[in-house]
């Protein structure tokens, strides 16, 4: 049995199966990764996007965030064959959840498309099949009243000079993403950690696996006895601890994996 078949067989026979994805799965959709050649952190200073800076200098934070947002999400982008394969596996009952570090919303788009347009409410409570560990960059949230809103009109107001943009209640809006120095949404990371512990098979896909606590999910799954796979174009710090490593493009390997699982 080749190792992709090993993963397919493990998924087919699993009671619980989950994946963790990172920026690599959205790279073929045209969204830059954070690290590596020409990554976002080559062009921007990570230290400017902390929660501490947002609190002490919301105007400067928002001015920089607009540039980051444009660099990451300024183009047209849509789910690719990798997102689609995972969404189909989830819809067809083979995957319990897709945990993602990405804030681009593409797994949610793929999940909705796989269900012929059925909508999916903002998933911030750890329910549902797409767990956005670092939030969603298409939304903003008021830091006073907690109200979540569609981001685009608020980003447009900020681009027109309203820095920082504020809510009707007078509170400052924050992009609805987890900043450095900020806690992950508790219910979401707790569900992801339970899934990793309970999974019979767990895949880490397109993530450098260096940012905690997400980076520990594959190890947590491995130490609970899961069959664990890493799919990445480059090596990761987790490779030595897992059962299968595939150094391949997500858009090639994930549709093949789906085919093997569902054949
Ligand atoms: P870090 O990644 O160095 O680690 C923070 C520490 O706190 C880790 O040891 C982690 O295990 C622990 N921790 C944090 N929240 C936890 C939780 N809810 N439950 C259990 N343990 C928790 O810290 P950081 O540099 O402050 O980054 C915090 C997070 O914010 C990172 O995961 C990072 O990826 C994320 N982030 C997201 C974006 C984005 O735009 N999506 C940008 C920057 C940072
Ligand atoms: N197929 C498979 N893997 C790919 C592909 C591809 N087509 N393209 C890139 N990769 C891999 C790269 O080799 C790299 O290891 O995807 C990985 C992307 O890593 P990062 O840019 O570090 O992204 P990620 O792991 O998601 O970062 C985690 O760090 O800055 C924070 O909050 C931010 O959520 C982000 C977190």
pLDDT in tens, 26-55: 999 999 999 988 899 999 999 999 999 999
In a shared domain, residues 44 and 168: yes
Q: For the chain, what is the domain count?
A: 3
For 136-155, the pLDDT digits (tens) are 999 999 999 999 999 999 99
Q: Are 101 and 22 in contact (CB under 8 A)?
A: yes
Residue 170 CA to ligand 2 centre (angstroms)? 36
Atom 30 of ligand 1: nearest residue by CA position: 180
pLDDT at 165: 98
CA 244 vs. chain centroid, Å, equals: 21
Task: Answer whether 181 contacts ligand 1 (Cβ < 6 A).
Answer: yes
In a shared domain, residues 245 and 150: no
The answer as to whether 23 is a domain residue is: no
CATH of residue 173 = 3.30.1600.10
Ligand closest in space to the Cα of 209 = 2
pLDDT at 128: 87
In a shared domain, residues 142 and 237: no
Q: What percent of the chain has pLDDT over 90?
A: 92
Q: Which helix (H) or strand (E) holds 83?
A: helix 81-91
The answer as to whether 50 is a domain residue is: yes
Mean pLDDT score across all residues of the chain: 95
Q: What's the CA gap between 110 and 106, in Å, rounded?
A: 6
The answer as to whether 260 is a domain residue is: no
The answer as to whether 263 is a domain residue is: no
Say whether 107 is catalytic. no
The answer as to whether 165 is a domain residue is: yes
Residue 35 CA to ligand 2 centre (angstroms)? 7
pTM above threshold 0.80:
yes
Task: Answer whether 49 contacts ligand 1 (Cβ < 6 A).
Answer: yes
Task: Answer whether 184 contacts ligand 1 (Cβ < 6 A).
Answer: yes
Q: Which helix (H) or strand (E) holds 260?
A: helix 250-262
Task: Answer whether 39 contacts ligand 2 (Cβ < 6 A).
Answer: yes
Q: What's the CA gap between 136 and 153, in Å, rounded?
A: 15
Q: Are 229 and 7 in contact (CB under 8 A)?
A: yes
In a shared domain, residues 124 and 146: no
**Domain of 69, in residue numbers:** 33-76+137-177
Atom number in ligand 2 closest to CA 39: 21
In a shared domain, residues 123 and 191: yes
Residue 134 CA to ligand 1 centre (angstroms)? 8
In a shared domain, residues 66 and 88: no
63 pLDDT more than 90: yes
The answer as to whether 208 is a domain residue is: no
Beta pairing partners, 202: 18, 228
What number is the ipTM of this complex?
0.74
In a shared domain, residues 145 and 244: no
Residue 162 CA to ligand 2 centre (angstroms)? 32
Q: What's the CA gap between 255 and 261, in Å, rounded?
A: 10
Q: Are 136 and 103 in contact (CB under 8 A)?
A: yes
Question: What are the CA-CA distances from residue 141 to residues 44, 154, 172, 187, 252 (Å)?
Answer: 23, 10, 8, 17, 36
Q: Are 212 and 180 in contact (CB under 8 A)?
A: no
The answer as to whether 209 is a domain residue is: no
In a shared domain, residues 98 and 191: yes
Mutate to test the pocket of ligand 2, among 20, 43, 132, 232 (most ligand atoms within 8 A of CB): 232
36 vs 227 pLDDT, higher one: 227
In a shared domain, residues 68 and 190: no
In a shared domain, residues 162 and 58: yes
Ligand closest in space to the Cα of 179 = 1
In a shared domain, residues 129 and 190: yes
Mutate to test the pocket of ligand 1, among 212, 214, 237 (most ligand atoms within 8 A of CB): 212
Atom number in ligand 2 closest to CA 40: 21
CA 158 vs. chain centroid, Å, equals: 25
In a shared domain, residues 130 and 85: yes
Q: Are 165 and 69 in contact (CB under 8 A)?
A: no
Ligand closest in space to the Cα of 23 = 2
Residue 210 CA to ligand 2 centre (angstroms)? 9
The answer as to whether 244 is a domain residue is: yes
């Amino acid at each position: 049995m080749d190792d992709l078949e090993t993963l397919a067989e493990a998924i087919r026979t699993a009671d619980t199966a989950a994946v963790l994805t990172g920026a690599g799965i959205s790279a073929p959709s045209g969204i830059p990764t954070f690290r590596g050649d020409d990554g976002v952190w080559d062009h921007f200073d990570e230290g400017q996007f902390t929660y501490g800076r947002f609190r002490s200098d919301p105007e400067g934070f928002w001015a920089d965030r607009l540039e980051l947002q444009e660099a990451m999400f300024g183009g047209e982008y849509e789910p690719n064959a990798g997102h689609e394969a995972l969404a189909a596996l989830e819809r067809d009952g083979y995957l319990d959840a897709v945990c993602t570090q990405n804030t681009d919303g593409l797994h949610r788009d793929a999940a909705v498309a796989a269900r012929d347009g059925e909508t999916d409410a903002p998933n911030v409570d750890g329910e549902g099949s797409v767990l956005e560990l670092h939030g969603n960059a298409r939304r903003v949230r008021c830091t006073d009243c907690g109200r979540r809103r569609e981001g685009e009109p608020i980003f447009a107001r900020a681009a027109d000079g309203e820095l920082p943009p504020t809510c009707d209640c007078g509170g400052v809006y924050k992009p609805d993403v987890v900043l450095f120095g900020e806690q992950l949404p508790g219910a979401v990371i707790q569900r992801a950690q339970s899934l990793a512990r309970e999974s019979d098979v767990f895949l880490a896909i397109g993530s450098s696996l260096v940012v905690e606590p997400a980076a520990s999910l594959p190890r947590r799954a491995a130490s609970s006895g899961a069959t664990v796979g890493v799919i990445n174009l480059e090596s990761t710090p987790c490779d030595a601890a897992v059962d299968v490593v595939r150094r391949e493009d997500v858009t090639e390997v994930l549709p093949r994996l789906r085919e093997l699982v569902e054949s």
